Structure 1
């Protein structure tokens, strides 16, 4: 996240909260639907495998950011738009298909053949809004995508891997903002990466921030229930507000460390308290 001169207020939490609400709704849909979900991590859930899963995600994020920064320095804006457009279109299609399928399964419908054209239509609509209309409408779609993608990851990544992935990404984010490609991209101008970032009242945030916030709270709801999820939401929002306050000093500030740490601590503290009370 980045900005120059501004004063942080609770109003700045609005897009984060909106994305989290979308993520909670999507996680709830996946939880109550009979749809069968599969792990999206390449390695097993033992400690060594979970460590490998975390490294895998960090490498993916790091390589992706480095490629975009390299292309930006080479002034390959059209190629950047093509890569981002393809990635977002793929994500929009898959997420549309999965959530529509989950909804159909929930209500007992079996018209699966209609999902592909509907998902394709939604993908075209999402792409048109982001890359042609832009503005507030584009920002709104990015917020929806962040919540939906995060909830899917939260439901499809086992707990130990999810915790390590989030922690590793928080550490990487702190490094990448100050020493790596993320901070350099932010200084070059996030507006050049339409679809991967959004702006709200003088604050610029990345789609990845919203995705991993929703991954955290969605995982809490999917695996541990409502109260741990609610606690993690409070933690994420508290961490975001603290990060926004740090932005008052100017420059850029990593969007993941405070929200992820607070969200995990608050959420698992409630998990522990609930377990202790039921003993």
Structure 2
């Protein structure tokens, strides 16, 4: 194996694992801080609410791209990123400093600084580093807010939606091209060469794969399987290896296998739907982890 030329393909599974571990590490502090996306984590209505909001946001973004609403898009993305950073930094501040004025002021300042850096200097290593923090935080928020059954339903629905939006309607490709053109920092950029500059060169998905300077991966491709990992860690009583439960480890291993399958198709040079193999691998790995540890109590949670 040519390690040098295949380094980008090795980096992507590594980033997935880092996001999953970060999501687990943030889960307990976020629970302690009372951060939650849904009031009832066991409700099967939650995945449909999530999907509905995702569809509405996608349609809004596509409409703004079509009419040239660049400033509005950047404003919405900046607000979303700022709020995500705020919840992450607020959680950490509350754990370290307790409930104090500093615990409210510092997260706002940190979130503002991180958001500003992303938009003022959108280089690939800045986007990827802060993107991992965003992905881990979002995975943790939804992982502690959704029990395992709703998560499995959500990941299944999203896998079908992703496949349809990439291969049938192709609107996800149009959305990705619009985001890349604006250099909006809600994706991951894995360069093929050290001297690649996303800030200066950008990306063109219409180019042949040999001509592209980097691989592009949607942030959701790392977030969605990580939600199941966090949920398995939080909601499934099971034996642990190190500090991670066996079902959560199974979901992690399955998502990495799904990533390997995805990368095999990515090398064809055509845009690929990431969630079918990633979510499918995470679900199958989770079920295998449950079988190995005998942890099936989550099936009784309604």
Query: What's the TM-score bracket when you normalise by the shorter of the two chains?
Result: 0.7 to 0.9
1:248 — aligned with what? 267
Which ranges of structure 2 fall in alignment gaps of 5 or more residues? 192-213, 297-302
- Distance, in Å, in 1 between the alignment partners of 2:252 and 2:141 is 17
- Aligned runs of 1:110-189 on 2, under 5 Å? 110-135=98-123, 136-178=125-167, 179-188=169-178
In the alignment, structure 1 residue 200 sits paired with structure 2 residue 190: yes
1:100 — aligned with what? 93
2:72 — aligned with what? 79
Q: Answer with 79-88 or 177-186: which moved more.
A: 177-186
TM-superposed CA distance for 1:83, in Å, is 0.9
2:224 — aligned with what? 212
Alignment CA distance shift 1:34-1:188 (3 Å): closer
TM-superposed CA distance for 1:19, in Å, is 4.7
- Aligned runs of 1:29-48 on 2, under 5 Å? 29-31=26-28, 35=32, 37=34, 40-41=37-38, 45=42
> What does the per-residue CA deviation read over 1:112-158, in whole Å, with 9 as the maximum and x for residues that have no partner?
33111110111112112210011111221112211121122111211
1:3 — aligned with what? none
Work out whether residues 23 and 148 of structure 1, in 8 Å CA contact, stay in contact via their aligned partners in 2: no
Which ranges of structure 1 fall in alignment gaps of 5 or more residues? 1-7
In the alignment, structure 1 residue 274 sits paired with structure 2 residue 271: no
Work out whether residues 131 and 186 of structure 2, in 8 Å CA contact, stay in contact via their aligned partners in 1: yes
1:257 — aligned with what? 276
TM-superposed CA distance for 1:171, in Å, is 1.1
Higher RCO (C-alpha under 8 Å, 6+ residues apart):
1
- Distance, in Å, in 2 between the alignment partners of 1:217 and 1:13 is 21
Q: Secondary structure at the match of 1:194?
A: coil
1:58 — aligned with what? 51
- Distance, in Å, in 1 between the alignment partners of 2:295 and 2:74 is 51
Q: Answer with 197-206 or 221-230: which moved more.
A: 221-230
Alignment CA distance shift 1:169-1:34 (3 Å): closer
TM-superposed CA distance for 1:43, in Å, is 6.1
Work out whether residues 177 and 184 of structure 1, in 8 Å CA contact, stay in contact via their aligned partners in 2: no
Q: Secondary structure at the match of 2:32?
A: coil
2:203 — aligned with what? none
> What does the per-residue CA deviation read over 1:152-190, in whole Å, with 9 as the maximum and x for residues that have no partner?
211121121111111111111111122152122234462
Alignment CA distance shift 1:209-1:22 (3 Å): closer
- Distance, in Å, in 1 between the alignment partners of 2:165 and 2:137 is 25
- Distance, in Å, in 2 between the alignment partners of 1:95 and 1:276 is 30
2:211 — aligned with what? none
Q: Answer with 124-133 or 12-21: which moved more.
A: 12-21
Alignment CA distance shift 1:191-1:228 (3 Å): farther
Work out the number of aligned pairs and report it.
262
Alignment CA distance shift 1:203-1:30 (3 Å): same
